[in-house]
Amino acid sequence: MDLHRKKPLGEKIANVLAFSDFIFHLSETGVRMQYPQADEREVFLRAAARHLSRDLMIRAYGWDPEEHEDSGGCV
């Protein structure tokens, strides 16, 4: 913990962003396993839907996760 406290703020922020990116890539990996036929856009949307509210997904991407819940790759 002491080493972490001594890190410069910029390095701490970079670490948080790198960890966030890692978590999102893990989410994409899970989507690819669940929907192997999904293209890159669908993988992105499904992964984002795991982290964002339905309302935000619709407003930001025009994609309703509930409409695609059971679809096996059709966006």
- 43 in a domain, yes or no? yes
This prediction has a pTM of: 0.76
Do 45 and 60 touch, CB atoms closer than 8 A? no
Task: Determine the 3-state secondary structure of 42 from DSSP.
Answer: helix
- 58 in a domain, yes or no? yes
Do 35 and 73 touch, CB atoms closer than 8 A? yes
- 73 in a domain, yes or no? no
Structural domain boundaries, residue 34: 2-68
- 7 in a domain, yes or no? yes
How many structural domains are present in the chain?
Answer: 1
Interval 29-64: pLDDT, tens: 999 999 999 999 999 999 999 999 999 999 999 999
- 60 in a domain, yes or no? yes
All residues at 6 or more sequence positions from 35 whose CB lies less than 8 Å from its CB, including other chains: 42, 43, 46, 72, 73
- Single-letter amino acid, residue 52: L
